[in-house]
């Protein structure tokens, strides 16, 4: 990966503490760049989740609120309804957004809440040591699906973007990955579109970012990238899943 | 008999397993034992440590404020745990990874090039934890070596293929310690 | 499994649950207790049981509700924030009189807190963290061996009284390994669960949980539950007495803290101090009579907890103001040391 970035202003000058090969840091850097480009660093408020994503507040130089596991979209709603002129985003993992926080994200989308959610899908509960997540793919072994995920007892991988696309309030839903420079550029465009959707008052926006968790997948960083491309993308096809113009607030 | 032992190093050095074998050996010898790991968010490249207590009395807290033995498998754990060592305690250093010198009055300092011994003598770099355990028992015979071998076999149940190399590693560390491998002893 | 083996607290609970006939487990990962889930995800299917990772703790406790209403032995486990989320379900379980076992390997709070050992969920467990006039039976193990025996007992008591039982441990008990021996759970026979819903199958229908809008009717329900709690208080108190039978100072502590207090008693002895220790094993029912008796004999009490003073309130209620009750606590995941407690003891005694 030969992409060389200049350090975005909105990225605090300190090394990421994520595991080698984890894309949490990369995703946060791209969000910081977009915030820079939109010039919104002074009116952006982030809402942190519980999971490895929580460390975002240590790296992104905007105001932040940290809340309970899965509730970030509700907290973001509270902030946005109090301060409609602010840009409010949540940054959540798959356990946080698609397991315990399913109700909050679904209803934020359904209300067309003017917030943006960045969703790091790494197919496991990373911080707690690699348990099965709703996004774990079939046959994937985790510490709580030791023989591999199988539909009969564990159900199917949850495609959150597709689920949310059924909500009228979802104005922009997109799924991206950061495994090569081309995809990184696409991801950046998606993140920008999501924030613009909010800025333009068109409705709820979410970008799902597929991300490796080499530590809990038991792989080297390169193996993890390969696995993501080969095994995960077929379950989670990349691209814009819903782009709806001015449904609610236009 | 009461020994509190802290083993510290990088994740991936087999620290928790070392502690488990040591605690199992204590149990087989008929002592009260406890094993308590460091635990935290699953980030790689972090430090790992565990506390093992072996005693002829019921064990209270399973952490130790003033250990009798500190095993420093890397530099950060040397500076983190060695200062709390009890008077007369043993500081066992993996000199393959620790270059800095450490000074503290009233303790015994022993060094073992565990990575080199595991790599060159045992021919299996992963056995460095057992080299260190062998050395620990060599310097401070708190338990018979034979019991540690038994414990190792118990802990490797189901992975019998690994027993031979690990036994060899224990032996290597033990011999190194017994043949005057103490490179530095600081006395009051 | 009569052999002595070294086992981690969380795994010991999980294995003990299987031996106690736990057929289903519903949980959601949270440190420092996730090994219970991980162990059972492997083990329960081996014995024909069901392991299911729920989408949240709220779902997990309600899955427990359904399984218990179906007459099965069922368990869930969590820590801090997850146990808070279960409170609504727990309140429903108590009034529906559904047996189940809930494990809380507590950690530092409030809020997200941290994952270090703590005892600051005592109020939540003992005084009822959810709404309404209910009580849980609360067991406080202090060693890995006791995690096993109390897990066995928890399933028995839950069925005996048709009441949820909480095992209140902490991160230290969950994460540490100690030698254990698995013995067969042995308890008196229990009545059959003829209240379980299994489909009418020709008999009159049964309903679990009910709507009691009439004040008088709901008072009746509460009074009946209350009589049950009094029965539990009379029959099920468990404690351990340690140290001098005629102490100059009585120490009271539970769980991990009690382990440290035993060291304090022994170290105190070396200094010529006569110290006694009462370790409540049941937090509800609380061993108030025994504490009252020994406290009056000693004339002074020191309560030590890993919180800022929770069980100490029950100790004060037990002695009804007749004896001074001192308190020492650490919080936020800090573990009190025997050394500091002993110096506190010396201050109080002199
Ligand atoms: C109510 C509650 N339940 C459980 C937890 C424990 N917990 C912390 S992080 C986490 C999962 C995080 O997974 P994910 O959201 O996928 O984030 P990742 O670490 O993979 O980025 C869980 C279950 C908690 N803190 N609060
Ligand atoms: S555990 Fe996984 S998600 Fe968390 S920092 Fe490491 S690689 Fe990233
Ligand atoms: Mg995740």
Confidence of residue A5 (pLDDT cuts 50, 70, 90): low
**CA distances in angstroms from C332 to C84, C125, C256, C306, C329, listed in the order given:** 17, 18, 15, 8, 10
Nearest CA to ligand 2 atom 1: A126
Measured CA to CA, the distance from residue C129 to residue B13 in angstroms comes to: 43
Indicate whether A7 belongs to any domain.
no
Average pLDDT on A158-180 reads 97
- In CATH, what number is assigned to the domain containing residue A59? 3.40.50.970
Do C5-235 and C241-349 come out as alike in CATH topology? Answer: yes
Please tell me the distance between residue C12's alpha carbon and the centre of ligand 3 in angstroms: 28
Contact between residue C213 and residue C241 where contact means Cβ atoms under 8 Å apart? no
Indicate whether A158 belongs to any domain.
yes
Confidence of residue B39 (pLDDT cuts 50, 70, 90): confident
C307: nearest Cα among C291, C324, C283, C290: C283
Contact: C41, A66; criterion CB under 8 Å = no
Share of chain B above pLDDT 90, in %: 83
Tell me, what's the pLDDT at B188?
Answer: 44
For residue C312, the surrounding DSSP H or E stretch is: helix C311-319
Q: Which two tokens stand for residue C276?
A: 């006694």
pLDDT digit string, tens, across residues A80-93: 999 999 999 999 99
Size of interface A-C (CB pairs under 8 A): 47
- The reply to whether omega before C110 is within 30° of 0 (cis) is yes
For residue B27, the surrounding DSSP H or E stretch is: helix B15-28
| pLDDT at A1 exceeding the cut of 60 | no
Average pLDDT on A239-243 reads 96
Please tell me the distance between residue C330's alpha carbon and the centre of ligand 1 in angstroms: 27
Domain boundaries, chain C: 5-235, 241-349
Indicate whether A223 belongs to any domain.
yes
Contact between residue A221 and residue A124 where contact means Cβ atoms under 8 Å apart? no
Report the relative pairing of strands C5-8 and C177-180 from DSSP bridges: antiparallel
Domains of chain B are: 2-186 (3.40.920.10)
Nearest CA to ligand 2 atom 7: A213
Indicate whether A60 belongs to any domain.
yes
- Name the pTM for this structure: 0.96
Say whether domain C5-235 belongs to CATH 3.30.565.10. no
Indicate whether A6 belongs to any domain.
no
Q: How far is CA A80 from the centre of its chain?
A: 19
Chains interfacing with B (3 or more CB pairs < 8 Å): A, C
> Chain A neighbours among C 92-111 (CB < 8 Å)?
111
Q: Which of A20, A52, A127 sits opposite B45 (nearest CB)?
A: A20
Q: Which two tokens stand for residue A130?
A: 């690699």
CA dihedral C78, C80, C83, C85 (to 10 degrees): -120
> Chain A neighbours among C 20-49 (CB < 8 Å)?
28-31, 34, 37-38, 41-42
Confidence of residue B44 (pLDDT cuts 50, 70, 90): low
Number of other CB atoms surrounding residue C323 within 10 Å? 20
CATH no., domain C241-349:
3.40.50.920
Measured CA to CA, the distance from residue C168 to residue C104 in angstroms comes to: 5
pLDDT digit string, tens, across residues A32-51: 999 999 999 999 999 999 99
Q: Which two tokens stand for residue A213?
A: 């968790």
| Residue of C26, C28, C29 with the most ligand 1 atoms within 8 Å of its CB, for mutation | C29
Number of folded domains in chain A? 1
Q: Cβ contacts (< 8 Å) between C175 and chain B: which residues?
A: 36-37, 39
Tell me, what's the pLDDT at A128?
Answer: 95
- What range does the domain containing A172 cover? 24-243
Q: At CA C17, angle to CA C13 and CA C18, rounded to 5?
A: 125
Smallest Cα distance from A187 to chain B, Å: 25
Each residue's pLDDT tens digit in chain C (350 positions)? 579 999 999 999 999 999 999 999 999 999 999 999 999 999 999 999 999 999 999 999 999 999 999 999 999 999 999 999 999 999 999 999 999 999 999 999 999 999 999 999 999 999 989 999 999 999 999 999 999 999 999 999 999 999 999 999 999 999 999 999 999 999 999 999 999 999 999 999 999 988 899 999 999 999 999 999 999 999 999 999 999 999 999 999 999 999 999 999 999 999 999 999 999 999 999 999 999 999 999 999 999 999 999 999 999 999 999 999 999 999 999 999 999 999 999 999 98
Tell me, what's the pLDDT at B154?
Answer: 96
Indicate whether A155 belongs to any domain.
yes
Q: Cβ contacts (< 8 Å) between B45 and chain A: which residues?
A: 19-20
Contact: B35, C179; criterion CB under 8 Å = no
DSSP result, C265-300: HHHHHHTT--EEEEEESEEES--HHHHHHHHHHHS-
Measured CA to CA, the distance from residue A132 to residue B88 in angstroms comes to: 48
> C32 and chain B: CB distance < 8 Å anywhere?
yes
Tell me, what's the pLDDT at B12?
Answer: 85
Tell me, what's the pLDDT at B186?
Answer: 57
């Amino acid at each position: 990966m030969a992409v060389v970035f200049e350090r975005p202003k909105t990225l605090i000058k300190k090394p990421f503490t994520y595991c080698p090969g984890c894309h949490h840091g990369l995703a946060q850097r791209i969000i910081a760049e977009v915030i820079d480009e939109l010039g919104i660093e002074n009116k952006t408020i982030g809402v942190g989740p519980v999971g490895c994503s929580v460390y975002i507040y240590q790296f992104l130089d905007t105001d932040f609120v940290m809340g309970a596991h899965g509730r970030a979209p509700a907290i973001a709603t509270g902030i946005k309804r109090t301060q409609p002129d602010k840009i409010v985003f949540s940054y959540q993992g798959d356990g946080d957004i698609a397991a315990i926080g399913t109700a909050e994200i679904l209803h934020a989308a359904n209300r067309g809440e003017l917030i943006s959610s960045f969703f790091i899908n790494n197919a496991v509960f990373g911080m707690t040591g690699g348990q099965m997540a709703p996004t774990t793919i079939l046959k994937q072994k985790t510490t709580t699906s030791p023989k591999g995920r199988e539909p009969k007892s564990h159900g199917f991988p949850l495609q959150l973007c597709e689920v949310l696309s059924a909500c009228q309030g979802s104005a922009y839903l997109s799924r991206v990955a950061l495994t090569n420079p081309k995809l990184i550029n696409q991801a950046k465009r998606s993140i920008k579109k999501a924030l613009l959707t909010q800025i333009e008052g068109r409705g709820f926006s979410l970008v799902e970012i597929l991300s490796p968790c080499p530590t809990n997948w038991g792989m080297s960083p390169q193996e993890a990238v390969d696995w993501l491309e080969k095994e995960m993308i077929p379950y989670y096809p990349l691209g814009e899943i819903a782009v709806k113009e001015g449904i609610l607030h236009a | 008999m009461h020994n509190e032992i802290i083993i510290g190093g990088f994740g991936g050095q087999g620290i928790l397993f070392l502690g488990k074998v040591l605690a199992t050996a204590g149990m087989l010898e008929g002592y009260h034992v406890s094993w308590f790991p460091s635990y935290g968010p699953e980030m790689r490249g972090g430090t790992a440590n565990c506390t093992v207590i072996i005693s002829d009395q019921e064990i209270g807290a399973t952490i130790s404020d003033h250990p009798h033995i500190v095993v420093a498998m890397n530099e950060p754990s040397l500076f983190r745990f060695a200062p709390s060592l009890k008077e007369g305690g043993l500081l066992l250093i993996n000199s393959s990874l620790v270059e800095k010198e450490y000074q503290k009055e009233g303790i015994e300092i022993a060094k073992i090039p565990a990575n080199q011994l595991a790599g060159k003598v045992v021919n299996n770099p992963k056995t460095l934890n057992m080299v260190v355990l062998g050395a620990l028992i060599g310097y401070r015979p708190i338990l018979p070596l034979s019991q540690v071998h038994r414990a190792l076999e118990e802990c490797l149940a189901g992975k019998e293929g690994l027993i031979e190399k690990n036994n060899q590693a224990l032996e290597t560390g033990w011999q190194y310690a017994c043949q005057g491998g103490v490179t530095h002893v600081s006395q009051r | 499994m009569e052999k002595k083996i070294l086992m981690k607290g969380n795994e010991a609970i999980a294995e003990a649950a299987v031996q106690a006939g736990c057929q289903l487990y519903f949980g959601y990962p949270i440190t420092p207790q996730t090994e219970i889930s991980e162990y059972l995800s492997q083990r329960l299917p081996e014995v024909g049981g069901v392991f299911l990772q729920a989408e949240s703790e709220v779902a997990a406790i309600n899955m427990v509700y359904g399984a218990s209403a179906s007459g099965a032995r069922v368990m869930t486990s969590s820590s801090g924030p997850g146990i808070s989320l279960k409170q609504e379900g727990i309140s429903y379980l108590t009034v529906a009189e559904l047996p189940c076992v809930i494990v809380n390997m507590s950690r530092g709070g409030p809020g997200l807190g941290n994952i270090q050992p703590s005892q600051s969920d005592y109020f939540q467990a003992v005084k009822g963290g959810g709404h309404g006039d209910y009580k849980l039976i609360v067991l406080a193990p202090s060693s890995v061996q006791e995690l096993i025996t109390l897990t066995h007992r928890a399933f028995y008591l839950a069925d005996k009284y048709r009441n949820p039982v909480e095992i209140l441990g902490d991160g230290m008990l969950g994460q540490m390994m100690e030698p254990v021996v698995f013995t067969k759970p042995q308890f008196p026979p229990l009545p059959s669960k003829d209240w379980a819903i299994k489909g009418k199958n020709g008999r009159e229908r049964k309903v679990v949980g009910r709507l009691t809008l009439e004040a008088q009717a709901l008072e009746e329900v509460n009074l009946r539950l209350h009589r049950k709690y009094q029965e539990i208080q009379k029959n099920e108190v468990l404690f351990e007495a340690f140290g001098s039978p005629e102490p100059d100072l009585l120490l009271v502590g539970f769980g991990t803290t009690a382990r440290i207090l035993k060291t304090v008693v022994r170290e105190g002895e070396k200094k010529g101090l006569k110290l006694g220790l009462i370790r409540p094993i049941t937090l509800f029912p609380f061993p108030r009579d025994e504490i009252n008796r020994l406290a009056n004999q000693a004339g002074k009490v020191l309560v030590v907890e890993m919180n800022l003073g929770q069980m100490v309130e029950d100790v004060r209620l037990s002695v009804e103001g007749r004896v001074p009750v001192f308190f020492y606590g650490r919080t936020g995941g800090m573990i009190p040391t025997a050394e500091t407690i002993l110096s506190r003891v010396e201050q109080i005694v002199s």
